[in-house]
Amino acid sequence: MLSKPSEQQRRDAAETRARAQEDTRYSLKNMKRAKQRHVKFFVNIALDYEMKARLQRAALENDLKMTAIVKAALDYYLSENSY
């Protein structure tokens, strides 16, 4: 039979688990930050219901993200107008 762990052993195990969870949480947060480092600016765009519905439909039909479509449309507009 296995003996019950002492209070000190349980406390040590709980502290070890807590440190491991905290390290994992920090690693995940740092990974997300590193992934977004190339992103420098965010643009909030207010769309009417019809425009958003069209954008969602285009994203679904072309298997793209809506942000990719908006980014491509902005890039096209700016390049066509010499910006």
Domain that holds residue 31: 7-39
pLDDT tens digits along 23-82: 898 988 888 888 777 767 788 899 999 999 999 999 999 999 999 999 999 999 999 999
Residue 36 pLDDT: 73
Give CA 78 to chain center in angstroms: 27
Q: Are residues 77 and 48 in the same domain?
A: yes
Q: Are residues 33 and 61 in the same domain?
A: no
The dihedral region occupied by 48, where left means phi > 0, alpha psi between -120 and 50, and beta the remainder, is beta
The answer to whether position 1 is within a domain reads: no
Residue 77 pLDDT: 96
Q: What are phi and psi of 2, to 5 degrees?
A: -85, 140
Q: Are residues 47 and 81 in the same domain?
A: yes
Number of domains in the chain: 2
Q: Where residue 52 sits, what CATH number does that domain have?
A: 1.10.1220
Q: Are residues 80 and 46 in the same domain?
A: yes
Give yes or no for residue 5 having a pLDDT over 80: no
Which of the four pLDDT bands, split at 50, 70 and 90, describes residue 1? Answer: low
Q: Are residues 27 and 45 in the same domain?
A: no
In this prediction the pTM is 0.51
